[in-house]
Amino acid sequence: MLDIKFVRTNPEIVKQNIRNKFQDAKLPLVDEVITLDEQKRAIEQEGNDLRSEKNRISKQIGALMGAGKKDEAEAAKNRVKEINARLDEIANLEKELPEQITDILMRLPNIIDPSVPIGKDDSMNVEVARFGEPVTPDFEIPYHAEIMESFAGLDLDSARRVAGNGFYYLTGDIARLHSSILSYARDFMINKGFTYCVPPFMIRSDVVKGVMSFAEMDAMMYKIEGEDLYLIGTSEHSMIGRYIDQIIPEESLPLTLTSYSPCFRKEKGAHGIEERGVYRIHQFEKQEMIVICKPEDAMAWYEKMWRMSVELFRSLDIPVRQLECCSGDLADLKVKSCDIEAWSPRQQKYFEVCSCSNLGDAQARRLRIRVKGENGNYLANTLNNTVVAPPRMLIAFLENNLQADGSVNIPVALRPYMGGQEKIVRK
């Protein structure tokens, strides 16, 4: 959410940012919110003036009555009644106008970083770098669901009977591999100095509105019927929400946190063969990294965070690339974002496995997360990045470590979490 003072003094910058994000329908909102802000400030000034006048007149009434000036006293009393009636109107406006202003500000996109490439949608995202050599084996790579089923590790039919489409059962070595990857990712981040957390898996509506845009909320979140609670789509939501209305001592920054949680998403509009299996699902587990820092440190942390994802995937023998998200592909709260994509030897292309984002002070402004500095309080900056999100990460792992005989190699880094196994073999 933008600061109304910034919008008021930089309307053309805000409008150009909207154009850069190809959201021209939002352009009238800029002038609308500036007009509402002018009305709000005028109403506040009128209210202050009337309250001062009322206090002054009220003090005069007693003196006028004591001096026998009844007509002047009655006139003064009538003026107080007029003021009170207008103050009642102003009180309603003082409540309504800020709400209208906030509603518009929450719909305006955050100001993107100058380094973000301008493009309408994800087809215009820009490849920045590749890490590891993409390998195409001389044998056919089956669809990921078939690989899992060959180890008696996936049961989609039972999941459909129990919960419907978009759910799964993992069993045996595949289930163990799934848990091992999460445990390895947890320890990987702890060794990077991050504090491990397990947050609430449900959050209230005020936190939801604080961490994401309305469009994202509608497309992603499951609401608990009859409760002011939503299932989280990622632990970032409850991790950032932890600091709602808090003032953080500057000396405690940066806060570097890594959190585990299940995640629940509607995933509207999923279709096609690559959306089947366990690629796009309603429930999955994830290890996340979150940083809360001073504004001047945010971009340095952004660079560190996406590079941690690269390091982790390469330690598991998975080639990846960094893809810079263009302006039209950025969610409204984001200043800058990139995807880490893993190589799929079956598809002969990369697919998203991590998303690293710098949100500037957007979430902090919505949730009122402030830092207590030497020269006063200021808004924190927040960042997040996926560490691993199986089972999608599991797809990349299985495809890149699959052998011609149908077995799957276990990289050295993961073997301690798999009981020392060097490979898993078909049942």
* Residue 285 clears pLDDT 80, i.e. is over it: yes
- What would the mean pLDDT of 361-369 be, rounded to a whole number? 96
Q: Can you give the pLDDT at residue 62? A: 79
Percent of the chain clearing pLDDT 90 (strictly above): 87
* Residue 244 clears pLDDT 80, i.e. is over it: yes
Q: Where does the pLDDT of residue 217 fall: very low under 50, low under 70, confident under 90, or very high at 90 and above?
A: confident
Q: Where does the pLDDT of residue 88 fall: very low under 50, low under 70, confident under 90, or very high at 90 and above?
A: very high
Looking up tokens 């001073």 gives 294
The answer to whether residues 194 and 289 touch, using CB atoms and an 8 Å cutoff, is: yes
Q: Can you give the pLDDT at residue 64? A: 81
CA 172 and chain centroid, separation: 34
Q: Can you give the pLDDT at residue 73? A: 86
C-alpha to C-alpha distances, 405 to 135, 323, 328, 401, 426, nearest whole angstrom: 17, 33, 44, 12, 9
C-alpha to C-alpha distances, 122 to 105, 212, 254, nearest whole angstrom: 25, 19, 31
Q: How far apart are CA 284 and CA 395, in angstroms?
A: 13
* Residue 158 clears pLDDT 70, i.e. is over it: yes
AA letter at 13: I
Q: How far apart are CA 108 and CA 14, in angstroms?
A: 8
Q: Which of 140-154, 193-207, 213-227, 399-413 has the lowest mean pLDDT?
A: 213-227
- What would the mean pLDDT of 89-103 be, rounded to a whole number? 94
Q: Can you give the pLDDT at residue 238? A: 96
Q: Can you give the pLDDT at residue 268? A: 62
For residues 313-343, b (16+ Cβ closer than 10 Å) or e, as one string? beebbbbbbbbbbbbbbbbbbbbbbbbbbbb
Q: What is the pLDDT of residues 110-126, one digit of tens each?
A: 999 999 999 999 999 99
Q: What is the pTM of this model?
A: 0.90
Percent of the chain clearing pLDDT 70 (strictly above): 98
Report residue 166 as tokens: 């978009």
Q: What is the pLDDT of residues 21-36, one digit of tens each?
A: 999 999 999 999 999 9
